[in-house]
Amino acid sequence: MDITSLQWIHGGGWDHNSVQQFDPTPMINYANNSFIAVIIQYRLAAFGLLPTPTFSNGAITDARFALQWVQRSISLFGGDPGRVTIWGQSSGGGTILHLLAAEARSKDARLWRASIVSSPYLVPMGKCDTGYFRDQFRAFAAAANCTFTNVINNPASSNLDSYNSHDNLSLACLRELHTDTLKILSHTFDSIRGAGHSSAYEPCIEGEGGYLVRNTADELVRGNIAGDWAIAGSNLHDGSTFVSTSIIPPAGTPSSNFSAVADSLLNSTLIADLPLTQEEILEVMNVWYPLDQFSDNHARGAQIFQDVTFACPANWVAEAKGQRGWRYLYAIGTAVHAQDNAYEFPIHYNTLAPVSPSLYATYIGAATSFIRASPPSPNTFNLPLDWPAWGAGAGSYKVMNVSTTANTSTSYVVAAGHDQTWIGTRDRCAFWANVRRGSW
């Protein structure tokens, strides 16, 4: 039969969610059973992204392992291993960004043909064996009573002779603990973030000999990504739930001091979430995101987080593929982060957005057409698909939206050079590309 297949990688900040929330039946039914879906489970939190002396980024390599399984086995289900599309949202999309960069350097057989990233979560990276990531492993080991002293005094540890360092001994000790103990400790560390980091558990740069050899953001900007075709998207208000409204100056703040208070509050947030220098923070606030361009300081902070983490990485993917890359903006309802799951997986997430059959046909119709045909067909199940490639339109993108009165699709194309504020302007994304080169 040799039909196409989709491999979905779920989001959840690399610390929660599972396959149970992501039933692909509605989109398969819409596409008349014309593709196979594989929804993967992968290790999360400490099990998937706690760096260790001998390996790191298990969540990312789990996804790669699943793709390798698809290559070996999808033909047994009637699928064509040469026609695989990968799709991920949030940290699932972030996982795909890391795969795109890593597999571009790989000499192994190709694992997919096309990719879709929805609000891809590209948080700061760093070297796995230094600084934050090394200290995170040591703190985790200490919390588990797996420091060097505890290990060598534990007669139950019988397989330690092959290790000769503090960290290797700690890792061996952790491996002997009960899974439930590690789960509790992993959950405890979910709320512990170091300065300059957006999540508790994040992918890191392994260097030569590892899988994530270089900084993924830098690889995307350079255009070093795997696969033939790509769709990249973000939501209108992706950043709003990641920034606290407490950065809005309190009522009664004198107008003469309002901007200074707003800058001070935003400065603290940027220090907490991003590894920026103070000079870079001043440039962010004064040059690229001045307060007078936003309705309030929260909207300002949300746009910053949205650009650096979701929107600009999506642009870099579309830019890298040029004539074979498409960009969209999900703008339905409040369009906060993950709200698009309502259309991708309505069985579990149907309450997140208004139901619109015509918008479903536009959004999921385009996605399933892409999965089946790559590139998107000019006719999506008898619905015209006016959506130029990013390269062909020199930065054009598709806005997915519905009318608030008739609840029908009002999706449209924004031409290059017009309002790109919500998807990251070229100047702002160029700034972030320059800042993110190197270690994060």
- Cβ(56)–Cβ(47) under 8 Å? no
Strand pairing report for 325-330 and 229-235: parallel
Q: Is the dihedral of CA 79, 84, 85, 88 positive or negative?
A: positive
Strand pairing report for 229-235 and 114-118: parallel
Judge if the upstream peptide bond of residue 375 is cis by omega within 30 degrees of 0: yes
> For residues 134-151, b (16+ Cβ closer than 10 Å) or e, as one string?
bebbeebbeebebbbebb
Distance, in Å, from the CA atom of 438 to the CA atom of 428, rounded to the nearest integer, reads: 18
E strands, 74-209, in order = 79-89, 114-118
For 267, residues 6+ apart whose C-beta sits below 8 A from its C-beta are 281, 285
Distance, in Å, from the CA atom of 181 to the CA atom of 213, rounded to the nearest integer, reads: 32
- Cβ(233)–Cβ(119) under 8 Å? yes
Torsion angle defined by CA atoms of residues 178, 180, 182 and 187, in that order, rounded to the nearest 10 degrees: 180
Q: Which residue has the tokens 């698809």?
A: 70
Instruction: Report which of 94, 91, 41, 85 is spatially closest to residue 63, judged by C-alpha positions.
Output: 41
- Cβ(430)–Cβ(392) under 8 Å? no
90 is known as an active-site residue: yes
Choose, from 5, 56, 90, 115, the residue flagged as catalytic: 90
Strand pairing report for 383-384 and 79-89: unpaired
Distance, in Å, from the CA atom of 177 to the CA atom of 202, rounded to the nearest integer, reads: 23
Number of residues that make up the chain: 440
From residue 180, alpha-carbon distances to 58, 129, 176, 184 in Å are 19, 26, 12, 6
From residue 322, alpha-carbon distances to 88, 225, 247, 393, 408 in Å are 20, 12, 38, 9, 30
Active site residues: 90
